[in-house]
Structure 1
């Protein structure tokens, strides 16, 4: 009799465990159009399916209408006139008058409607990328897809670099320049977009772009008159570059000098009238070919 009771208890435990959704142990970061989305219901993985709260997808220009009586949510967007109607606990949704079966039912977590990420994003023509090693979900709304394509795969270095310098910065400088009347200088490895140096006076900052965000990797204060010698520095100093292009803007000047570091040819042009000072410094370098395209 005791043996039979033990068997029944084990069977009950197995049944309960199999019916409980399995949530990811580590947090998943959601980044939409280069903005890290904060939410009281962050993305989770349930039974191998990534679920996100509808509220956290508002950056995709979604309009949400909650009907508390029948527990449905109607989602619309400027992309098209089709409506997406979801109901809590249901696997079937209506979209554009058609019934579609989801890979996981609509769920409620922390009073938020949780839905399968990929279906929602693809239904509204967004681009979704799952970065497994970083535990990040990258989403580009329909109107930004071409922008990120230019950033990562475009041949136009000037256009790609302008986008790169417009991305949000992660990390703040701990050091500052000790020079007065300082100029601004930008250095890119020749043919590259996704990493660069910004020099302001004798403060050198090195940045790398990863997953639509720009990270401050290293900074150093160069000793006056001693190139490559730093009195203070933070982070991991990058290896010296072999070939670089530069853009130099003297203080209170509208003229940008630019070219290849190892060339005697100095080019000059008016700074672009841009609200972003560094973006306005960028110019096209003759015969420069891109070398750091990212393969999808």
Structure 2
């Protein structure tokens, strides 16, 4: 059996979640940073969680439903491995091998659902229950990124979290435009990230294999005088909250500004707890983000 199909199994069959889903507050599903609202919501039945079988399509697999036999056939297009499951049956088949399910697939409102508990975590898929947002997060892990996070090199780790999926469970009404971006971290840390694009500000925290959106704000000159946030003072503007709660800053921040396009330059430095710039350094003719996000001695002073 191929590892790639094992990965698919793990994505679909995850641990039971002790939550409750109903019509007023349905469970949400986010796969690799994309909200899955084209399919029906996940279900919880007798403390067992289920996802629509067609979630596999979001992972690049081909899904076929045989209404006569009530069987789902899933094909990995890269390896031609197949997985078949039958509604109400506790036996699945991966190629020719039988696999036992603790809970069989079910049908509800013309949608086939698969229990998450089967093959729980056996093949490396990262899964998280977001109780705050009543959602399930499914992440296909990236071994290269994980190595950088564990490398002990702060700059490499900061670059790595930028490459992780950014997960949220709502659609922002703001669509910023403009090429320049900034990445701001807590001093001597990589797990908390402010991502600034145009006049939008997003704050993420590192979870198990992804960055979770905690707060979204928008720069606003109208509220500048009323803003006491060190981040707002650094940006020279007020910040209106669009979603979530703005975190309180208790330590210095490290900023990296990407101006490769259109200015062929970058900048990094330190933001004090009062919002002032304590240190800054311009980078001339950077070719990539790793030329801007670097380790520098002033951060540790």
| TM-score calculated relative to the size of structure 2 | 0.65
261-270 vs 131-140, which deviates more? 261-270
* Residue pairs, 1:6-85, within 5 angstroms: 24-25=21-22, 26-78=25-77, 80-85=79-84
What is the distance in 2 between the residues matched to 1:174 and 1:140?
25
3-state SS in 2 of match to 1:86: strand
Rg larger for:
1
User: What is the CA distance between 1:196 and its match in structure 2?
Assistant: 1.1
What is the distance in 2 between the residues matched to 1:176 and 1:80?
40
2:184 and 2:255 in contact (8 A); partners too: yes
User: What is the CA distance between 1:160 and its match in structure 2?
Assistant: 2.1
Match of 1:91 in 2: 90
RMSD over aligned CA atoms reads 4.2
What is the distance in 2 between the residues matched to 1:62 and 1:112?
17
Q: Deviations over 1:141-171 (max 9, x none)?
A: 3xx443674697664234224325x737753
What is the distance in 2 between the residues matched to 1:192 and 1:128?
21
Is 2:143 the counterpart of 1:146?
yes
Match of 1:242 in 2: 251
Size of the aligned set, in residue pairs, is 254
What is the distance in 1 between the residues matched to 2:135 and 2:151?
23
Structure 1: give runs of 5+ residues left out of the alignment: 1-22, 274-278, 291-296
In the alignment, which of 201, 204, 211 is matched to residue 205 of structure 1? 201
What is the distance in 2 between the residues matched to 1:192 and 1:286?
14
Structure 2: give runs of 5+ residues left out of the alignment: 1-19, 272-276
User: What is the CA distance between 1:137 and its match in structure 2?
Assistant: 1.2
What is the distance in 1 between the residues matched to 2:294 and 2:262?
22
User: What is the CA distance between 1:199 and its match in structure 2?
Assistant: 7.2
Closer/same/farther in 2, CA of residues 175 and 86 from structure 1, 3 Å limit: closer
2:200 and 2:216 in contact (8 A); partners too: no
Match of 2:268 in 1: 258
User: What is the CA distance between 1:241 and its match in structure 2?
Assistant: 5.2
| TM-score calculated relative to the size of structure 1 | 0.66
Closer/same/farther in 2, CA of residues 31 and 231 from structure 1, 3 Å limit: closer
Match of 1:195 in 2: 193
Match of 1:294 in 2: none
Q: Deviations over 1:178-208 (max 9, x none)?
A: xxxx9755432222343215275xx573523
User: What is the CA distance between 1:116 and its match in structure 2?
Assistant: 0.8
User: What is the CA distance between 1:112 and its match in structure 2?
Assistant: 1.8
Match of 1:159 in 2: 159
User: What is the CA distance between 1:110 and its match in structure 2?
Assistant: 2.0
1:88 and 1:106 in contact (8 A); partners too: yes
1:130 and 1:136 in contact (8 A); partners too: yes
Higher relative contact order (CA closer than 8 Å, sequence separation 6+): 2
What is the distance in 2 between the residues matched to 1:40 and 1:176?
30
3-state SS in 1 of match to 2:159: helix
Is 2:269 the counterpart of 1:268?
no
Is 2:293 the counterpart of 1:283?
yes
3-state SS in 1 of match to 2:296: coil
Q: Deviations over 1:44-77 (max 9, x none)?
A: 0111111111112311222212233322221122
What is the distance in 1 between the residues matched to 2:103 and 2:247?
45
